[in-house]
């Protein structure tokens, strides 16, 4: 059986020279401008004439814009990133039409990430050195690891985060990512706050609370930022300081999640999770900060693409499945289960840890899906005749392998 080669993005930090930084900054600005102008043109064409403008039309517009006196500066940067941003806009509209995303939004100079994508015609990768178009010397990259042997990047994305750090992401095929040997193990995962995840095996993995460790430092940096005069250089320095604290928190959180998800995927053939609506949960003002710090959405995303990479099965249980209120021993469902109840006893005599019981119920529902290959019908009543909430399990879905910087 042949397997599709997985493409991965390998992300590295680099330190540009002053000339390279100036060139890339100009490129970022031109990319943002072309994207916004093309989005405006497409939106106007639809609003005024009910006309859909495709990538080819916006590419022709770009050629015309370059010939005008006002936009002649677009010729000073590489044309490839400008064409790539038009392709990204086309992809954004395709996702909108297929109801996978919201309507494309304009890029903001302050809020949007600075980035530019280069195709193979706009860079040279040779002997471990990367040189971009319009540049005389290669980038000074910190090679934290090697690219797969014999592989060259198909696209290169250069970005600068809010903290002022420069990154280059190289997309290339990775022969090392292939299905792992099949296992008989399966695990159900219950996401939480005190314990980031509780496994059906009974193991609880403590939430590292990445944001809490730097909360005082972040608060101090934000106070200093608030005191600076708007538009001043000192305010910009203070903003960068706040961004560096946020970047430190995000890096620590991402590193922990990568290690956790890699371990879960390598140790289990079947991984079962809940379909949590994080956006709605964040409306709880008392728990919003803790929920954001837990980053359940990023945890799920990592599990999805890693299961696809390594030939594992991922089952997502419907959000209304009463995993916490259902007794894993007899199947009885309790009417209420407040958040402050961490242990409870069922009438059948079983004493449950709330999170472990939920994880075991999630695993049982996932195994049912894996066995029958279809959803489980809603459970309307418990064995004792009590009414229950709606229970539904959605069938497993294979997800696309996403390009990510880590394994």
Query: Starting from the edge strand earliest in sequence, which strands make up the sheet with 155-160, in order?
Result: 114-119, 155-160, 166-173, 7-14, 141-142
Residue of 23, 190, 211, 313 marked active site:
190
For residue 381, the cross-strand partners are: 387
**Residue 293 annotated to the active site:** no
What is the signed CA dihedral for 34, 37, 40, 44, rounded to 10 degrees? Answer: -120
**Residue 224 annotated to the active site:** no
Residue of 23, 174, 293, 355 marked active site:
355
CA angle 196, 200, 206 (to 5 degrees): 20
Residue of 23, 114, 117, 274 marked active site:
274
Q: How many CB atoms lie within 10 A of CB 235?
A: 16
SS3 per residue for 269-317: CEEEEECCCHHHHCCCCCCHHHHHHHCHHHHHHHHHHHHHHHCCEEEEE
For residue 13, the cross-strand partners are: 142, 167
Distance CA 288, CA 343 (A): 24
Q: How far apart are the first and last CA of the chain?
A: 24
* Residues designated catalytic: 190, 274, 355
């Amino acid at each position: 059986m042949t397997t599709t080669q997985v493409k991965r993005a390998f992300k590295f930090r680099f330190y540009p020279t002053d000339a390279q930084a100036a060139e890339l900054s100009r490129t970022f600005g031109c990319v943002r401008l072309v994207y916004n102008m093309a989005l405006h043109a497409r939106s106007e064409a639809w609003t005024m004439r009910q006309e859909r403008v495709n990538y080819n039309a916006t590419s022709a517009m770009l050629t015309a814009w370059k010939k005008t006196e006002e936009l002649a500066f677009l010729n000073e940067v590489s044309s490839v990133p400008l064409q790539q941003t038009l392709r990204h806009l086309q992809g954004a509209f395709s996702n909108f039409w297929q109801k996978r995303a919201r309507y494309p939004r304009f890029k903001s100079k302050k809020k949007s990430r600075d980035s530019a994508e280069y195709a193979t015609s706009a860079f040279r990768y040779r002997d471990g050195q990367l040189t971009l178009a319009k540049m005389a010397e290669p980038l000074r990259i910190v090679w934290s690891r090697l690219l797969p042997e014999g592989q060259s990047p198909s696209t290169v994305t250069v970005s600068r985060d809010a903290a002022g750090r420069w990154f280059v992401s190289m997309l290339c095929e990775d022969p090392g990512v292939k299905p792992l040997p099949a296992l008989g193990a399966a695990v159900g995962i219950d996401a939480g706050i005190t314990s980031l995840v509780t496994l059906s095996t009974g193991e609880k993995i403590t939430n590292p609370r990445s944001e809490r460790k730097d909360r005082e430092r972040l608060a101090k940096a934000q106070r200093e930022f608030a005191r600076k005069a708007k538009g001043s250089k000192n305010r910009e320095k203070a903003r960068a300081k706040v961004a560096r604290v946020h970047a430190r928190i995000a890096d620590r959180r991402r590193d922990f999640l990568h290690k956790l998800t890699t371990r879960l995927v390598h140790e289990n053939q079947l991984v079962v999770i809940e379909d949590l609506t994080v956006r709605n949960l964040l409306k709880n003002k008392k728990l919003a900060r803790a929920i954001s710090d837990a980053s359940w959405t990023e945890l799920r995303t990592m599990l999805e693409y890693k299961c696809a990479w390594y030939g594992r099965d991922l089952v997502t249980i419907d959000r209304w499945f009463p995993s916490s209120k259902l007794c894993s021993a007899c199947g009885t469902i309790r009417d209420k289960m407040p958040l402050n109840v961490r242990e409870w006893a069922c009438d059948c005599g079983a004493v449950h840890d709330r999170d472990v019981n939920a994880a075991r119920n999630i695993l049982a529902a996932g195994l049912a899906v894996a066995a029958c290959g279809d959803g489980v019908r809603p459970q309307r009543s418990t064995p004792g005749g009590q009414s229950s909430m709606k229970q539904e399990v959605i069938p497993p879905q294979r997800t696309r392998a996403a390009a990510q910087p880590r394994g």
